[in-house]
Amino acid sequence: MNAKTPANALRALPSVDALISSVGGVALVERYGRTATVDMLRALLDETRTRLRAGETAAIDSDSLLDSAAARLHTEQRGSLVPVINATGVIIHTNLGRAPLSDEALDAVRAIGGGYSTLEYDLDAGARGSRLKHPETLLCTLTGAESALVVNNNAAATVLMLAAFARGREVIVSRGQLVEIGGGFRVPDIMAESGATLIEIGTTNRTRAADYERAITENTAALMRVHSSNFKQVGFVEETPIADIARIAQAHGIAALDDLGSGALLDSAAYGLAHEPLPQESLQAGMDLVAFSGDKLLGGPQAGILIGKRELVEKLKRHPLARAFRADKMTLAALVATLLHYRKGEAVEKIPVWRMIARPLADVHAQAEAWAVQVGGSVIDGESTVGGGSLPGATLPTALLALDMSSVDIFAANLRRADPPLIARIQDGHVVFDPRTVLPGQAEMLIEIVKRTLQSDT
């Protein structure tokens, strides 16, 4: 021990046994468990000894050590995946988990995940069944498809589709549709992983039916449309209608595949937005297989949905990758519950994504005004966005609670440290909160967090 070591402070450190048996220690054990509490106290004591031996100052009293242990245990056991309040105005926020589920979908997850189920059991036969059947009837009824298959996400659906029908052969895609989706995944990369060979046609901004016709060879397996759901081209642009793509494919005896991406089952144009292509429209236009997501405009869990001709979907079901990509029981439970909302005609009332999209501006404005009365600030006009790679550039008019702060970055960071974290956005020097994306039951928490954060910043 060097001359700078405060030997008396080291001797004064309480033992783990003393800390664990104190009133505060007993409370920590009750809340976080004995093993976790003992491990955390030992780690804190080791850190404190190291700091003291290095000549640094450190709190050595029991209350301070217990407070530090409580803070660390809370952070540790809360984990990094936690619920947040989304006040950004981005409805399908990819970073915040995309589509929130309906109450009925959550109930279905609890019921199926919390016990045994008929996941792969046929009650009538009293024998093994198939997990693939549960959402299939609903998907076919809602879209007019002959058959359907659910996998774990739309990228998997696309890989499965290409691997089953184009491995070792060519797939023709418009150059203007070679998109990159979130996380850096690119259509050419996904195609390469499937074993298919990409044939690019047209130019970045213009692809005609004749471009598809000229590119077809005896090694062509399919024509593929990739919906550019996360970006928009304007100006001197021409895209081949999918009905023409389907017609050309049929004439040459090859498959017409549609990677639709977002997968809306309702017409977004009815709510003041641009029209997002519907899976049922693709089938009506003659496409053989259509792939789309479950957790975007559909408003359900993460899933990749494949619909189309029965003989093609049956081939997908038998492919080895179908098992690797299959959806789990909780995903299927949530998806079926979500699809039932569409079947019952209650999607706008029950599915959070559509409830937010359809929410009247007057209602949003009234809530923003109520917030301003409670916490101060002003109400300003703004725009909500759909997000999630859907309807690029399309917005909905909204009303925002705007707070003027000396440091908007610090204030926004403090909101993110709340429990639950409150995610706002910074706009024109204000911290703003959009009521459109705040879920029912979260408004009171939002107000409490804002008030508490305002007080701590003064």
pLDDT tens, N- to C-terminus, the chain (458 residues): 344 456 788 888 999 999 999 999 999 999 999 999 999 999 999 999 999 988 888 888 999 999 999 999 998 988 889 999 999 999 999 999 999 999 999 999 999 999 999 999 999 999 999 999 999 999 999 999 999 999 999 999 999 999 999 999 999 999 887 776 655 567 777 778 888 899 998 887 888 889 999 999 999 999 999 887 555 666 556 778 899 999 999 999 999 999 998 889 999 999 999 899 999 999 999 999 999 999 999 999 999 999 999 999 999 999 999 999 999 999 999 999 999 999 999 999 999 999 999 999 999 999 999 999 999 999 999 999 998 777 777 899 999 999 999 899 999 999 999 999 999 999 999 999 999 999 999 999 999 999 999 998 65
Beta strand pairing status for 422-423 and 425-427? unpaired
Q: Domains in the chain and their CATH numbers?
A: 8-78 (no CATH), 85-95+353-457 (3.90.1150.110), 101-346 (3.40.640.10)
Residue 317 CA, chain-centre distance (Å), reads 26
Alpha carbons 401 and 370: distance in angstroms, whole number: 9
Question: Taking Cα atoms as reference points, which of 158, 196, 38 lies closest to residue 29?
Answer: 38
Beta strand pairing status for 304-308 and 378-387? unpaired
Contact 281, 246 (CB under 8 A): no
By CB neighbour count within 10 A (0-12 exposed, 13-18 middle, 19+ buried), where does 215 fall? middle
Full 3-state SS string of 127-183 = EECCHHHCCHHHHHHHHCCCEEEEECCHHHHHHHHHHHHHCCCEEEEEHHHCCEEHH
Q: Model's pTM, two decimal places?
A: 0.89
Strands (E) in 233-299, as ranges, are 255-261, 289-293
Alpha carbons 326 and 304: distance in angstroms, whole number: 9
Which residues lie across from 124 on neighbouring strands?
Answer: none
Longest CA span, the chain: 90
Alpha carbons 261 and 154: distance in angstroms, whole number: 7
For residues 357-374, b (16+ Cβ closer than 10 Å) or e, as one string?
bbbeeeebbebbeebbee
Q: Which H or E run includes 333? A: helix 329-343
